A and B are shown apart, each in its own frame.
Chain A
């Protein structure tokens, strides 16, 4: 079938450098001394740990429970002993620590019981729940929980399913190798996705610089006689592998600002995600490993099947990094982020460990003023005006930056790549984005606080009114009683005035006497003289208990108490 191909605006063609790692098989990595499995590896809520130090786990056992629906489960990548659940440094630009489960492998690498899912009997909710329980997330880099994207049980809802095998970023070859060497599994995974989502057509987009992958995928489709699937070779141009760009190239649909591709009947998944879906449904195995490219300043680049949680240093050691290595970059040279250290673990988002040295990636030339040449606007694949975004971000005028659709920026780095003034444009956009997010978060918190403050005020007002009403009712009742009593006293004989007055006086005198007596009693209470021996003993016992508690509490108190 001939497909009309479309094109996206902008883009660049950097040196691809893919041959450095594209040869040879996907190699296994020996079990490391310890695995550091961060609990929060995906977009969405952080999972809660369900194991503690000293627990034995099997491979694939759940160690982190998904927190709500927009989250994913985390599993043990190998069998062994949980040595700690503690804060460890994350593969994140911040270099901060987050809660991780540390596992000492027992060397057996023994799987627990597999829980495959039968698609024929499973309900849509069961399918989504299964994918969440298996920890399947998008492996293209965004690590968005897959169960939120796979919407089963709606025939005709999805027009086109796009499978992303473009892999446009330089140096990275993990998807290429996966398609070349495990095409059958990829196709089986895609077929499962088709079975769940029932799209009208399925397009597998692969850049034309990967002819072997294209051939392998076509052969796998022919072998399975699956007419629904079609491999499409797309022109090589960075960033053809961006979800919106690939959708544009394959279907011609341009997803407008602020909308989702599903609104236009298109959904996009990475080839690695297809394999994870296959493993989760057919084999009942959770996502505990992924293919990682190691390239850059190494003797021989390659691809490895890495258990999640393996320290990056252990993986790079297999490729033999050169002596002048000074940093690791997670991802490629365009979008990757520099790691805070070499011991940080491989996570679900790690598609590539790019080994850098001062010679290979020299520090950028000094930033010079923007000369308003407009090269960045020509290169931008998201049809934005990067120079405007840069000025507003630099001047911290965040409202304007948002008006110019800052959040449509995919941080692909094309603008910075072409900038003749060497301005690190993406750094400015990332700064502006995180400032805007923080502000929105603060605003939400402030609105919430205002609501609670206003409710408290309303409640206090209401309580005051209720109290006043109660008091008024009581006074009214008392007054009524008094007038009734007076009426009774007056009624029997109107002429007998003196007797009545005497009676009133007697009443008043009695009341006064009672009040006086009460006062004396009140004064007497709580003094030692008025207490019986029994009561005094009780008081002494209570005092002793208090002293004891104070003694116990002492180590917990601040030193000055």
Chain B
């Protein structure tokens, strides 16, 4: 009887020590779930989800504070991926957060720009070049199309231009064949 108790106690101590060691040794810094959600989000940093950026939104989803259908730039595909990752039910994009639009970049009408720097301060990814009382311009390659520069512009010289299809970014279409009658 005593031997059995001792053996069990010894087992418990050894396993407990192993678990304790593992929890210290293999400790994971940060929340891996947040990273995974953040990797799915489009990094537009537009704030349409009512959070100040993609990372805060990812944190809110991980905590269960936010729904997965609040990201218009990610679109339906993004929601599906999030639903897959989190094992939640797919929901259509919530209309109060916006609608899915074709990807576009901001364009500054340089004739009208007065050089106020307000858009530079609004840009979440530093994609606008300019200085006070100097013309501003968008670095199109780095613009995420978040539209955050539109409201602060006092002269409304910024417009969103949809990204045009070129030979380089053209995609083969999904094969579709017309149904023909067989006789």
Q: Which of A427-448 contact B (CB under 8 A)?
A: 427-428, 430-431, 433-435, 437-438, 441-442, 445-448
Q: Which of A537-561 contact B (CB under 8 A)?
A: 553, 556-558, 561
The verdict on A453 contacting B53 (CB below 8 Å), with A430-B172, A431-B174 known, is yes
The contact string, 1 if C-beta is below 8 Å from chain B, for chain A 69-80, is: 000000000000
- Complex contact B126–A452 (CB within 8 A): yes
Total count of chain A residues near the partner, CB < 8 A:
40
Cβ-based interface call for A98 (8 A): yes
Cβ-based interface call for B111 (8 A): yes
- Complex contact A453–B43 (CB within 8 A): yes
- Complex contact A92–B172 (CB within 8 A): no
Residues of chain A within 8 A (CB-CB) of B54 are: 450, 453
Cβ-based interface call for A470 (8 A): no
- Complex contact A424–B126 (CB within 8 A): no
The contact string, 1 if C-beta is below 8 Å from chain B, for chain A 89-102, is: 01011101110000
Nearest B residue (CB) for A367:
B177
- Complex contact A438–B172 (CB within 8 A): no
- Complex contact B42–A446 (CB within 8 A): yes
Residues of chain B within 8 A (CB-CB) of A97 are: 167
- Chain A residues proximal to chain B, CB less than 8 Å: 40, 46, 90, 92-94, 96-98, 366-367, 424, 427-428, 430-431, 433-435, 437-438, 441-442, 445-450, 452-457, 553, 556-558, 561
Docked pose: A558 CA to B45 CA in angstroms: 29
Q: Which of A431, A455, A557 contacts B172 (CB 8 A)?
A: A431
Q: Give the 10 A-B CB pairs with smallest separation, nearest first.
A: A94-B170, A446-B43, A434-B171, A449-B43, A430-B172, A427-B175, A556-B111, A452-B125, A431-B172, A450-B43
Docked pose: A90 CA to B165 CA in angstroms: 13
- Complex contact A438–B126 (CB within 8 A): no
- Complex contact B175–A46 (CB within 8 A): no
Residues of chain A within 8 A (CB-CB) of B45 are: 449, 453
Nearest A residue (CB) for B142:
A452
* Cβ contacts A to B, 30 pairs, < 8 Å: A90-B167, A92-B170, A94-B165, A94-B170, A96-B170, A97-B167, A98-B166, A98-B167, A366-B182, A367-B177, A427-B172, A430-B172, A431-B174, A433-B172, A438-B169, A441-B169, A445-B144, A449-B43, A449-B45, A449-B142, A450-B55, A452-B125, A452-B142, A453-B53, A456-B126, A553-B112, A556-B111, A557-B112, A558-B109, A561-B112
Cβ-based interface call for B180 (8 A): yes
Cβ-based interface call for B69 (8 A): no
- Complex contact A456–B124 (CB within 8 A): yes
Cβ-based interface call for B168 (8 A): yes
The contact string, 1 if C-beta is below 8 Å from chain A, for chain B 33-58, is: 00000100111110000000111000
Number of A-B contacts (CB under 8 A): 85
Docked pose: A558 CA to B171 CA in angstroms: 34
Docked pose: A96 CA to B44 CA in angstroms: 28
Q: Per DSSP, are chain A's interface residues mostly helix, strand or loop, or mixed? A: helix
Docked pose: A94 CA to B173 CA in angstroms: 10
Q: Which of B112-151 contact A (CB under 8 A)?
A: 112, 124-127, 142, 144
- Complex contact A447–B43 (CB within 8 A): yes
CB distance from B53 to the nearest CB of A (A): 6
Nearest B residue (CB) for A364:
B177
- Complex contact B125–A96 (CB within 8 A): no
Q: Which of B144, B166, B173 contacts A449 (CB 8 A)?
A: B144
The contact string, 1 if C-beta is below 8 Å from chain A, for chain B 84-127, is: 00000000000000000000000001011000000000001111
- Complex contact B142–A92 (CB within 8 A): no
Q: Which of A40, A428, A455, A456 contacts B175 (CB 8 A)?
A: A428
- Complex contact A94–B167 (CB within 8 A): yes
- Complex contact A438–B125 (CB within 8 A): no
Residues of chain A within 8 A (CB-CB) of B142 are: 448-449, 452
Nearest A residue (CB) for B174:
A431
- Complex contact A553–B171 (CB within 8 A): no
Docked pose: A441 CA to B172 CA in angstroms: 15
Residues of chain B within 8 A (CB-CB) of A446 are: 41-43
CB distance from B127 to the nearest CB of A (A): 8
Residues of chain B within 8 A (CB-CB) of A367 are: 177
Nearest A residue (CB) for B164:
A96
- Complex contact A366–B165 (CB within 8 A): no
Docked pose: A500 CA to B53 CA in angstroms: 59
- Complex contact A450–B38 (CB within 8 A): yes
- Complex contact A96–B175 (CB within 8 A): no
- Complex contact A438–B171 (CB within 8 A): yes
Nearest A residue (CB) for B146:
A449
Residues of chain A within 8 A (CB-CB) of B171 are: 431, 434-435, 437-438
- Complex contact A96–B126 (CB within 8 A): no
The verdict on A453 contacting B170 (CB below 8 Å), with A428-B175, A556-B111, A557-B111 known, is no
CB distance from A376 to the nearest CB of B (A): 16
CB distance from B47 to the nearest CB of A (A): 11
Nearest B residue (CB) for A435:
B171
- Complex contact B125–A456 (CB within 8 A): yes
- Specify which of A46, A94, A366, A553 lies most central, judged by the most chain B CB atoms within 10 Å of its CB: A94
Nearest B residue (CB) for A427:
B175
Residues of chain B within 8 A (CB-CB) of A433 are: 172
- Complex contact B126–A366 (CB within 8 A): no
Residues of chain A within 8 A (CB-CB) of B167 are: 40, 90, 92, 94, 96-98
Docked pose: A427 CA to B38 CA in angstroms: 33
CB distance from A250 to the nearest CB of B (A): 32
Nearest A residue (CB) for B165:
A96
In the complex, besides A40-B168, A431-B175, A450-B55, 9 extra interface pairs with C-beta distance below 8 angstroms are A434-B170, A435-B171, A441-B169, A448-B142, A449-B125, A449-B144, A450-B38, A452-B142, A558-B109
Residues of chain A within 8 A (CB-CB) of B127 are: 452
Docked pose: A431 CA to B172 CA in angstroms: 5
Nearest A residue (CB) for B177:
A367
CB distance from B182 to the nearest CB of A (A): 8
The contact string, 1 if C-beta is below 8 Å from chain A, for chain B 43-77, is: 11100000001110000000000000000000000
Residues of chain A within 8 A (CB-CB) of B168 are: 40, 46
Residues of chain B within 8 A (CB-CB) of A98 are: 166-167
Docked pose: A245 CA to B180 CA in angstroms: 38
Residues of chain A within 8 A (CB-CB) of B182 are: 366
Docked pose: A402 CA to B174 CA in angstroms: 17
Docked pose: A428 CA to B112 CA in angstroms: 47
- Complex contact A434–B172 (CB within 8 A): yes
- Specify which of A40, A437, A453, A454 lies most central, judged by the most chain B CB atoms within 10 Å of its CB: A453
